[in-house]
Every structure is written in C-alpha cells, then in structure tokens.
A and B are shown apart, each in its own frame.
Chain A
Amino acid sequence: MVKKIKSKDTVALHSFMQDRRTLFCYSGPLTEDLLTTISSPVRHQLSDKETEEVVAKRVFGVFIEQAQNIIRYSHRKTKATGDSIGTIAISIADNGFLIEAVNVVDPEKKDVLEATLVELSMKDQQELRELYKKRLREGPPEDSAGAGLGFIEMARRVKKFEFDFVESEDGALFVYRGWVS
C-alpha cells in the first residue's frame, strides 16, 4: 500500500537530502533523452570553484556510466514505454564525492556481475588499465551483463567502490557506490 505523504514527510525528504549532502538525485524511469537533459545541471553542480576540474570530470564520468548501466540493464521497466527504472545520486562525502546507483538486476545475470565486480575490486590501477585495453581490443565477453568496459572505466575513476545485492519486492537490487576525490 502506498503511504500517504504528509507535509512533515516532505520536510523530512528535504532534511534527509540536505543532511546527507546530496547534490543531485534522480529516481524513476531513466532514458538517454533524460540523461542528456540532466547532464547540464549535474555538471553545474560539480563546477563549484573549490572542486578541481579533473575531479569533477571523474565524478561526471562515473555518473554517466552508472546512468547508462541503469538504462541498459535495469530489470524493472515502466509498463507503458519500457523505460528502465533506477536511482542515481551524487553526494558530497569524505572530502570528495559519492556516486550511488540502484536498479533491479536480472536474476540470470547477477552471478556474472558479482564475479566481475569482485575481480575488478582486487585489481590495482595498472591492472585495470591493462584490462580496459584488452577488453577494447577483444570486445565484450559473451554474456557481458553490463560487465564490459563500463565497470572497468568506473573502477579506474573511483578511489574505491562497493557493491551489494539486496532483496526487495521487485527482485534483487543491485547497489553500486563509488567514491571520487
């Protein structure tokens, strides 16, 4: 049942977003058109004078890869148009930025995705760079499940990343969190 949203809930939403220092958050159907539209305000949020341009670019790079992952691989779609549903956010955290993404994962692709991310999390920058080159030359693996270049690209841009699979009413949620500074 959908809970009735009261005024205090609206205030709570505001306070919640402010307290966690979220600069940008979108949750709902995500399309390439929408990504084009939100790219500018996201850039604007990141172009703070105190933020180094190279850091802002890394944050933007991770944001784009995560958004496109949701668009391509979210297992939950809108009924009418089949658009992918997910959540993406950029927040200030640990003297840098935290980029978060959540979407329902295809249960058949969960294991491949998990194995790939475990593998990536154990690689250093040089190994990631080599793997990126290798993947570029050889093309994506048979069943990429979003485990192609995008996740390697993100792993190269973040200081660290964490991922998780959380059960929900809609199925297993894939949670990706990357820190950039």
Chain B
Amino acid sequence: MIYEASQRTPLVELTPTSCLIRGECYPENISEWSEPVLKTLEECLSNDNSEFKVDIELYYFNSSSAKFLFDFFEFLEESAEGGKAITINWRYRAEDDTMQEAGEDFEEDVSACSYNMVQVESLAE
C-alpha cells in the first residue's frame, strides 16, 4: 500500500514486511491522515512474517504530528513485544540537529524493537 506524499504529508509505503515514511509531516488534521495509515500498518503487522523493517526519513514534522509518531512507535513496540522482530531506522541528515534530537527522543521509549539512528548524506528527493 502506498500513500503518496503531498505538500504537507510524507510518502508512506507499507508492505507485509516493511514500512517507509519519507518527507514532511504537518497535515491539516493529523488524525484524519494518520488513521488509515495506522490501520494499514496494523494489517501489515498481523501476519506470520517474523521480521518487519521500518525506515523513517523525515525532514520536518509539527508538534501535532509528534503525537502520531509517538503512537506509531508505541504500536510497533506492542507488536515487537508480541514476538515480531522489528527494526526501526531513524534516518536524519548530518546537519539536521532537530531531526537527530527527535530520533534520539523517540529511541528512549523503544526497547522491544531494534532502533538505529542512521545518518544520511543528503536530501533524497
């Protein structure tokens, strides 16, 4: 399932074994945008595959979207606690201390998933 990026929402690509989120996130209404995404994520996680890989590369998100990301990670944690091997890669650009700090802060609440901070070179557009 692919949710195309818009001016205010990131690209989301979900498969039975992976999730990619890339772009910017400051939608008009975060719940409206995130509900179907989280629902699809739930479907993707509810299969017999033992592994799931998550790549997140955000360049900007607003404070309302932070809550979505928090819920998103919590959801992945629950699934990991249930036995799925989940790897999360938080990708940020070297000079982007805001996104680096955000990634570090989310990492604090993650323990069942394997969480990596991945520095990337440049904006992948």
Contacts and interface: CB of A to CB of B under 8 A. Distances in A.
Partners in one complex: yes
Interface of A: 32-33, 35-36, 39-40, 53-54, 57-58, 60-61, 64-65, 68, 129, 132-133, 136-137, 139, 148-150, 152-153, 157
Contact of A54 (B26, B98, B108): B98
A149 B63 contact: yes
Given A68-B62, A152-B63, A32 B28 contact: yes
A39 B7 CA distance: 9
B72 interface: no
B115 to A, nearest CB: 15
Contacts of A36: 7-8, 28
B29 A32 contact: yes
Nearest to B108: A133
Nearest to B6: A36
B97 A54 contact: yes
Contacts of A132: 66, 105
A58 B62 CA distance: 11
Interface of B: 7-8, 26, 28-29, 59-60, 62-64, 66-67, 70, 95-98, 101, 105, 108-109
A180 B96 CA distance: 15
B108 A64 contact: no
A126 to B, nearest CB: 11
Given A54-B97, A58-B98, A68 B105 contact: no
A135 B86 CA distance: 26
Nearest to B59: A57
A153 B7 CA distance: 21
16 contacts: A32-B29, A36-B28, A39-B7, A54-B98, A57-B98, A61-B98, A132-B66, A132-B105, A137-B70, A137-B109, A139-B67, A148-B63, A149-B64, A150-B64, A153-B62, A157-B98
Contacts of A150: 62-64
Given A60-B60, A153-B63, 14 more contacts: A33-B28, A39-B7, A57-B96, A57-B98, A61-B62, A64-B62, A68-B64, A133-B108, A136-B105, A137-B70, A139-B67, A148-B63, A150-B62, A150-B64
